[in-house]
Structure formats: C-alpha cells, structure tokens
Amino acid sequence: MRKYKCNGELETVICNCCAKKLAVKDGIVREGVLMLDHAWDFFSEKDGEVHHLDLCEECYDQFIQGLKLPVDVEENTELL
C-alpha cells in the first residue's frame, strides 16, 4: 500500500501481507519491495478493476515458496 504527499512524492509504503512499514527517504523506497499493479480484463470476475499491492522482501520470499512452479530468475548485469 502506497501513500503519496500532496505534491505526488512517495511518503509511505506498507507491505499488504504483514503490514510492515518500509523505509522511504526522499520519495524513494530504501529496501526490497515487490510492487504489483494489475488491470483485470474481460475474462476475469474482476473485469474493470485495477489492483495495487506491495510485498516486502520477506513476504515475497514466503509467497514464492508456496508456488507449484519456481519463479524464473535471471541475473541483471547492468545495475543503475
């Protein structure tokens, strides 16, 4: 869950799973977080809805352990 200041700067990020408040400084998240924004379409029961959520790194790790197929991970060699 994200909250923004009236000027549009990111103020707060809270994990939707465990409710941990993540570190944000100068509008930048300072720790690992998965941000998901998904617009549901015609073939779902949620057609027309857009869902937003954030998972801290620990909750993400727990989530992927429960998957039947592993996450496809590739190495990013160019870090900004």
Residue 26 lies in a domain: yes
Residue 35 lies in a domain: yes
Residue-wise pLDDT for 6-40, tens only, equals: 999 999 999 999 999 999 999 999 999 999 999 99
Q: Quick one: pLDDT band at residue 78, thresholds 50, 70, 90? A: confident
Domain that holds residue 28: 2-65
Cα 31 → chain centroid: 12
Taking a C-beta distance cutoff of 8 angstroms, is the pair 33, 54 a contact? yes
What's the total number of domains in the chain? 1
The answer to whether residue 40 sits within a structural domain is yes
Residue 59 lies inside a defined structural domain of this protein: yes
**Which of 15, 45, 47 lies closest to 32, judged by CA?**
15
pLDDT digits (tens, 9 = 90+) for 32-48: 999 999 999 989 999 99
- The pTM score is 0.85
Distances (CA, A) of 23 to 6, 34, 44, 46, 79: 19, 14, 34, 32, 21
